[in-house]
Structure 1
Amino acid sequence: MNDSIVQALLDSYRRNNAILINLLQALPEGGMEAKAMQGSPSVAEQFSHIQQTRLFWLNQVAPEFAAGLTQLFRKDGEDWLAERDPTRIVQALNESCRAVCEAVQDRLHTGQAMQGKNARYDHPVFLLQHLLWHEGYHVGQIKLALKAFGYTMPEEVEEKAIWSQWRTEIWEQ
């Protein structure tokens, strides 16, 4: 695969991670507890779930890259509690983003299959695409939860946090 295409794909995943972190850092006070509707996961649970999904799939298809990564859910009696500390979430997301990119790059360069006992991706890039799709879904759910909470992200904040990661606009006056 052309190295510039590989780098663009990996960069797209890193940009996606930056969007998650920007969204986390733009949360209003109390926003971690927001839910789209009663019974839905909270914003904190969604961020923790994103991390757990990254860890789950890495453990399935490239376990050496999942070793030592931070889990964001912790057991408390019968319950699993989501991390609510933004600093820990940012650290975990950055670590797992780096691990996903390293795993994909490794499998592309070595030709080793991205598969394990229970799961397989036909091509390493499909892991990136799967995670991008999954995480994009959760960004929408987080934004919906924030609206239900009574917070609509101002356009200038959303532009900087999300859309500017993908494109640059220059408007002539």
Structure 2
Amino acid sequence: MSEIIETWYIHNRINLYLLDAIEEIYLNDISASKGRKVADQFAHLHNVRMMWLKVAAPELLDGLTKFDKDIQINKSILVSELSKSADAVAQLLEKGFNEGKIKGFKPHPTAFLGYLISHESHHRGQIMLTLKQSGHAVDPKTQYGLWEWGSR
């Protein structure tokens, strides 16, 4: 199980690695299709984690703050909240693997991990595209670094 939890943490570090490479001002970039701002994409990842925690293990929500319209989003708060929600999801995964299920999700905990990583990776791609369309693409080192799971 430790490799599965480590996979989750590697994935989260990749998200934070991308966030670190983005200049604060570019968090306001919006995709050409008028979707969410870059900052709102990161906030969405956190909020979806919280949604699943609320369904499957509400006791793990303690200390987490949902991003809403009243919260001023910046890199610092994104790093803090994404780190906290990653820890809570890791606890949920451990609980799920011990019990053989994630409440509210089928078929099993491994599929839940796959779902979370797929969902967040989709949004990471949207973030990359938004930045590129806005003329603020992340540097090639970071682009390749997103795939260096062995060193993250």
Same topology, TM > 0.5 = yes
Q: CA deviation at 1:29?
A: 4.8
| Partner of residue 67, structure 1 | 62
**Is residue 2:92 matched to residue 1:103?**
yes
Report the secondary structure of 2:135's partner residue.
Answer: coil
| Partner of residue 143, structure 1 | 128
Which amino acid in 1 is paired with 2:77? R
Contact conserved, 2:46 with 2:82, CA < 8 A, in 1? yes
Report the secondary structure of 2:31's partner residue.
Answer: coil
Larger radius of gyration: 1
Unaligned 5+ runs, structure 1: 1-5, 76-80, 169-173
Residue 36 of structure 1 is aligned with which of 22, 31, 47? 31
Deviations 1:59-99 (A, max 9, x none): 11122222331212244xxxxx6x42111111111111111
Choose between structure 1 and 2: higher helix proportion: 2
Percent of aligned positions that are identical: 27
Which amino acid in 1 is paired with 2:92? A
Deviations 1:14-37 (A, max 9, x none): 111111111111113521111221
Choose between structure 1 and 2: higher strand proportion: 1
Unaligned 5+ runs, structure 2: none
The CA distance in 1 between the partners of 2:41 and 2:101, in whole Å, is 30
Contact conserved, 1:32 with 1:42, CA < 8 A, in 2? yes
- Relative to the length of structure 1, the TM-score reads 0.79
- Relative to the length of structure 2, the TM-score reads 0.89
| Partner of residue 163, structure 1 | 147
Report the secondary structure of 1:40's partner residue.
Answer: coil
Seen in structure 2, the aligned counterparts of structure 1 residues 37 and 7 have a Cα distance that, compared at 3 Å, is same
**Is residue 2:22 matched to residue 1:27?**
yes
Give the number of equivalent residue pairs: 151
Q: Calculate the aligned-residue CA RMSD, in Å.
A: 1.8
